[in-house]
Amino acid sequence: SRKDSKLKTKPSHKKISNSKSCNIRVVVRLRGPNAKERAAKSLNVVYIPENSTKEIKIINEAYDRREPPFFRFDQVFGPQATQSEIFDTVVSPILDEVLLGFNCTVFAYGQTGTGKTYTMEGDLSSEDGELNYKSGIIPRTLHELFKRLGDDHNKYTVRLSMLELYNEEVGDLLSLGDSVPKLTLNIDASSKLQIQGMEEILIEDTASGIALLQSGSSKRHTAATNCNQKSSRSHCIFTITVRIKESNFEGQDLLKEGKLYLVDLAGSEDTKMSGAINQQAREAGLINTSLLSLGRVITNLVAREESNAPIHIPYRESKLTRILQDSLGGQTKTCIIATISPAKISLEETVSTLKYATKAMKITNTPVSNQK
C-alpha cells in the first residue's frame, strides 16, 4: 500500500489553490469619495467591475503605465459594504480559530484617510456594549466573542491590551491616567517575548471592552495633536487574549489560549520614504521601520509557503514584527484589509497600497487561465 500512496501523490507544482495552506487572506475595502475629493472635483478612477467580488480596476486613461490596470484579491468590498458585512466575512472566521486556541492577526493597511480606523474601530459610542451601524471590527469582535463564550464566567477569561508603536517606541495605551508610558521588550528565560509592564486588563463584558478601547483611542489621538501627524505615523495594536477552560474525557482540566491581534497600521504613505537611504529622514524618524519589515516578513512567509524552501523570516527587524511573531506564519491565520480611495488625486498612493497588498497574495491564488 506504500507503493499505492506513492502512485497517488501528485507532483507538488500541480497543487494550485490549495486553500488549506493559504493562511494569509488579502481583502480590499474601497470607500466612496470624501468631502475633500468631491470639493477638488477629483474623478473616481478606481472601481470594482460589475459582478466581481475579487477585482479592483483602474480606469485606463488614468493609469497609462505598463502594468495591467487591474488587481485581484481574495475579496473586495465597495463603498456599499457595511461594517457588519466586513466583520462577518473577514473577521468572524478568524475568531473561530482564536477560540480553537490559535493566534491570529487582522491588519488594516492603507493611505491616511482611506478608512483604517473606521474599519478597525468605527463609531465607538455605545450603550451597554450595544453595537451601532458604524461599529467597527474591534467592538464587533468583543460583542461576538462574549456571545459565543456564554454566561459561565468560570469557564473563560478575556484580557485586553492596547499598544501604540511610534518611531520604534512602544507605548501603553491602557495604562491608568493620561500618560502613555514607554515599554521595553525583553526575552524571558523560555525565549518568549515579554513586554515589560504592559497592562493586560481582564474584562467580563463588551461594554467594558469598548470603554477601554475608547480611552486608549482618545489617548492615541491626544498625543498625536502634540506631535505633528503622529497618529497617522503610529501603529495601534489591540490584543484580545482568550483563555478557555475545558475538561477532557478523563475529566482533566485543559487550558486553551488564543490571541487575536487587531492592528491599525501607520499610513502607508510612510513606506514611500524607503527609496534612497536618507540619513536625515532616518534621524527624523521619517522611515517607518515596522511598516517596511512587516512587508518583508509577509513577502517571505508567502514565498516560504509557496516554495517549501527554508526561507528566513526577518521577524527581529522591527518592534511590530517581534510583537506579532507568534501570530504570523505557521498555523496562524492572517488577514490584511487594504483600504483605498477611489479618487484620481490619491491614485499614486492607491496603486502603491494595491502593490503592497498584492505581495501578500499567494501566487497560486492568481488564476492560471487556460493552463493545463
Residues lying near ligand ADP in the complex (CB under 6 A) are found at 31, 34, 110, 112-118, 232, 339
| Smallest separation (angstroms) from ligand ADP to the CB of 31 | 4
Count Cβ atoms within 10 A of the Cβ of residue 50 and give its class: 0-12 exposed, 13-18 middle, 19 or more buried: exposed
| Smallest separation (angstroms) from ligand ADP to the CB of 224 | 11
Distance CA 225, CA 372 (A): 57
| Smallest separation (angstroms) from ligand ADP to the CB of 242 | 26
Distance CA 370, CA 372 (A): 6
For ligand ADP, the nearest residue by Cβ is 115
3-state secondary structure at position 338: strand
Pick the closer one to ligand ADP by CB: 106 or 242.
Answer: 106
Pick the closer one to ligand ADP by CB: 92 or 112.
Answer: 112
| Smallest separation (angstroms) from ligand ADP to the CB of 57 | 19
| Smallest separation (angstroms) from ligand ADP to the CB of 110 | 6
Q: Cβ distance 102 to 332 under 8 Å?
A: yes
The three-state (H, E, C) secondary structure of 19-80, written as one string: HHHCCEEEEEEECCCCHHHHHCCCCECEECCCCCCCEEEECHHHCCCCCCCEEECCEEECCC
| Smallest separation (angstroms) from ligand ADP to the CB of 114 | 5
Pick the closer one to ligand ADP by CB: 103 or 290.
Answer: 290
Q: Cβ distance 298 to 109 under 8 Å?
A: no
> Which residue shows C-alpha cell 488564543?
258
On the CB side of 363, CA atoms within 13 Å amount to 11
Pick the closer one to ligand ADP by CB: 46 or 313.
Answer: 46
Alpha helices for the chain (secondary structure H) = 2-8, 35-39, 83-86, 92-99, 116-120, 137-149, 206-226, 230-233, 279-283, 289-307, 319-324, 347-359
> Which residue shows C-alpha cell 517571505?
300
| Smallest separation (angstroms) from ligand ADP to the CB of 39 | 14
Pick the closer one to ligand ADP by CB: 175 or 232.
Answer: 232
Please, which contacts does 189-195 make with residues 24 or more away whose CB atoms are closer than 8 Å?
A: 193/322, 193/323, 193/325, 193/326, 195/163, 195/170, 195/323
The C-alpha cell at 360 is 501578500
Pick the closer one to ligand ADP by CB: 157 or 232.
Answer: 232
Pick the closer one to ligand ADP by CB: 31 or 259.
Answer: 31
| Smallest separation (angstroms) from ligand ADP to the CB of 166 | 15
Distance CA 86, CA 146 (A): 19
Q: What are phi and psi of 104, to 5 degrees?
A: -135, 160
Pick the closer one to ligand ADP by CB: 113 or 139.
Answer: 113
Q: Give the amino acid at 62.
A: A
| Smallest separation (angstroms) from ligand ADP to the CB of 315 | 25
Pick the closer one to ligand ADP by CB: 235 or 319.
Answer: 235
